[in-house]
Amino acid sequence: MPAPKAAGALRTIGELAEEIGRPQHILRYWETRFPQLRPLTRAGNRRYYRPEDVALVKRIHDLLTNEGYTIRGVQKLLASEKGGRTPTPKAFSVGSLESIRETLVKALEDDEG
């Protein structure tokens, strides 16, 4: 058995399919259903999944297998997150973070005094 890959290493479709316990054709199908899932493709159409692709595949797998979502349900969920309905840390500006920091500092000062 080969040694496990580093966390940031690219995964082949076979490695990822084995890791999540699904056949390779399921991952290829998911690529047609979820535009967010775009692994790198090399010569001979070989797929290489980046860490963010691996995380997305694992999330899709969990939503379908454990959470009871349908393909359409997962599509809607991922599309709504992309549409900005769920804020991400990148959505915060430096100004808004500075404002939050000032509010926290003031709250700590008020709490001490």
Q: Which two tokens stand for residue 39?
A: 């692994």
Residue 88's CB is within 10 A of a number of other CB atoms, namely 8
At residue 14, the pLDDT reads 95
Q: Which two tokens stand for residue 15?
A: 């490695």
Measured in degrees and rounded to the nearest 5, phi and psi for residue 46 equal -70, 135
Return mean pLDDT, the chain: 85
pLDDT (mean) for 29-56: 93
What does the pLDDT look like over 92-107, one tens digit per residue?
566 677 778 888 888 8
Report the C-alpha dihedral over residues 82, 88, 93, 98, rounded to 10 degrees. 170
Burial of 71 (0-12, 13-18, 19+ CB in 10 A): middle
What does the pLDDT look like over 58-73, one tens digit per residue?
999 999 999 999 999 9
At residue 3, the pLDDT reads 63
Q: How large a percentage of the chain has pLDDT more than 90? A: 57
Residue 86 has pLDDT above 50, yes or no: no
